[in-house]
Amino acid sequence: MNKVCYSPPHNFGLDLVYQDNSILLINKPAGLLSVPGRGADKQDCLSGRVQEEFPDALIVHRLDMATSGLIVFARGTEIQRRLSQSFQDRKVEKRYVAVVKGKPGTDMGEVNLPIIADWPNRPKQKIDTTIGKYSLTRYRLLNYDMEVDTSRIELEPITGRTHQLRIHMAAIGHPILGDKLYGGAVSESAERLLLHAHSLKFMHPLNEIAMSWICGSAF
């Protein structure tokens, strides 16, 4: 098992993107767990910080510790149930921005490779075409920097497997910069994982009004 040293960023207060009586949208900083991990040293997390200010807030979905960006919290169990169902039914549109090594062969494309946990090397996942779970990612090239041979791309996870975007980009030869698990030679090319959840779209769980948010990245 790979032991990860957890050093969460200093708590400067919540980066609150949106709030009402039903939902909260938070911009999670990179390096912070979404929920508590195992051990006393991994209790500082986004859900804990949010609940200090909003005691009724409940987590609906998660981002990897190394990933920054938008997370929605439900205020109360009924809203959590409704939002969780929307995620389960794939009625929530999520888009990420990443910086990857190289340039994809096409400006738009899909990665359809099944994923399963790599148990001897947890928390890593791996591609397994025999028993892996169906996993689909769509990508779109935003720009290419020829000088350093990197691309800024938009990623849309159609499924929501653990580490899906990271392992899919690595699998097609374009690992995300700063990825300590799957980046190989580019793992030290950035101080942090250059992956940011920048857009969320879904129907409001109470009034069913279509809502969308965009939160720019810091890279």
Which of 44, 64, 145, 179 is flagged as catalytic?
A: 64
Q: Let me know if 89 is a catalytic residue.
A: no
Looking at the structure of the chain, the number of domains it has is 1
Residue 66 lies in a domain: no
- Closest to 179 (Cα-Cα) out of 99, 119, 109: 99
Residue 134 lies in a domain: yes
Q: Which domain holds residue 140?
A: 96-195
Residue 71 lies in a domain: no
CB 4 within 8 A of CB 38: no
For 10-36, the pLDDT digits (tens) are: 999 999 999 999 999 999 999 999 999
For 161-219, the pLDDT digits (tens) are: 999 999 999 999 999 999 999 999 888 989 999 999 999 999 999 999 999 999 998 89
SS3 of the chain: the string is CCCCCCCCCCCCCCCEEEECCCEEEEEECCCCECCCCCCHHHCCEHHHHHHHHCCCEEECCCCCCCCEEEEEEEECHHHHHHHHHHHHCCCCEEEEEEEEECCCCCCEEEEECCEEECHHHCCCEEECCCCCECCEEEEEEEEEECCCCEEEEEEEECCCCCCHHHHHHHHCCCCECCCCCCCHHHCCCCCCCCEEEEEEEEECCCCCCEEEEECCCCC
Least confidently predicted of 5-9, 23-27, 67-71: 5-9
Q: What is the mean pLDDT of residues 46-69?
A: 97
Residue 54 lies in a domain: no
Residue 79 lies in a domain: no
pLDDT of residue 1: 45
Residue 150 lies in a domain: yes
Residue 4 lies in a domain: no
Say whether pLDDT at 88 is over 90.
yes
Residue 207 lies in a domain: no
- Closest to 195 (Cα-Cα) out of 175, 216, 171, 176: 176
Q: Which CATH number characterizes residue 132's domain?
A: 3.30.2350.10
For 97-142, the pLDDT digits (tens) are: 999 999 999 999 999 999 999 999 988 999 999 999 999 999 999 9
pLDDT of residue 5: 81
